[in-house]
Chains A and B, each alone.
Chain A
Amino acid sequence: MPEKQYGPVTVAVDGEGFLTDFSQWTREVAAAVAKEEGIAELTPTHWKVIEFMQKEFKENGQVPSIRKLNKSGVISTKELYDLFPGGPAKKAAKIAGMKKPEGCV
């Protein structure tokens, strides 16, 4: 299993850089992964998305879909694409320390 060093923290990741052990995630790791994904700074709105996704993930083991994020009133689809350009669901999941989303939508 490959590992990655983010500052003082070492995390286990899969071949694409998604954390394989959610318990290793920290806010500092999130900020570092975000930088790698081209997001210079995580704003309060980014955090709102990340925290909702993590809550869902802890509750039912699934990475919530873009539709779910939109329907739950957390963030509109348009804003989500603006916040995480070039692949919102995957980027947000990666930053939030979760596995790669498997669904088609």
Chain B
Amino acid sequence: MEDKIKKVSIVVSRGGLDGVYPGLIMANGARMDGIEANLFFTFFGLDAITKKRMGKIKIATVGNPGMHMPSLLGILPGFSAFATSMMLKTMDKIDIPPVPEFIEMVYDAGCKLYACKATVDMFKLKKEDFAPQVDSIINVGKFYEISAGGQIIFT
């Protein structure tokens, strides 16, 4: 156990439930084990910390082979919403919270949250567009600085 991981910086680059949950679970799990954790949201991963979007993140039912069903079914109106609500219900039972509550939970656990400057500029977003738990908008250089001495995980 000498080489215990002491610090992780996790990049969340994808949107959708399957895009944002792994990073959140890994960051929270790190804090639960006393590991320092940073979350860096970039590209569509930014949805997870954007006030307007964080409560509406869905699972993609089209072009997602992991759904184990024909994409044709997935295009039906409301199908993605239905699949999402089923999935969230199941997750709630095993105590995995919905995204907004999860963001609050990892923040309260001591994880630091950052938004990627390039994406923020591209989507024309402002600091006010993000959940209050977001520490700041930083560029890649700053991300590496913050991640120094730890492991970087890209999801």
Contacts and interface: CB of A to CB of B under 8 A. Distances in A.
Given A87-B33, A105-B29, A70 B105 contact: yes
A81 interface: yes
A65 interface: yes
> Looking at chain B, what size class is its interface with the partner chain?
10 to 19
A42 to B, nearest CB: 19
Given A89-B32, A105-B25, A66 B105 contact: yes
Interface of B: 25, 28-29, 31-34, 94-97, 105, 108-110
The main secondary structure of chain A at its interface with chain B is helix
A76 interface: yes
A54 B150 CA distance: 36
A28 to B, nearest CB: 26
B34 A65 contact: no
Interface of A: 65-68, 70, 76-78, 81, 85-90, 103-105
Nearest to B28: A105
A87 B110 CA distance: 11
Given A90-B32, A105-B96, 4 more contacts: A65-B95, A67-B105, A77-B108, A86-B34
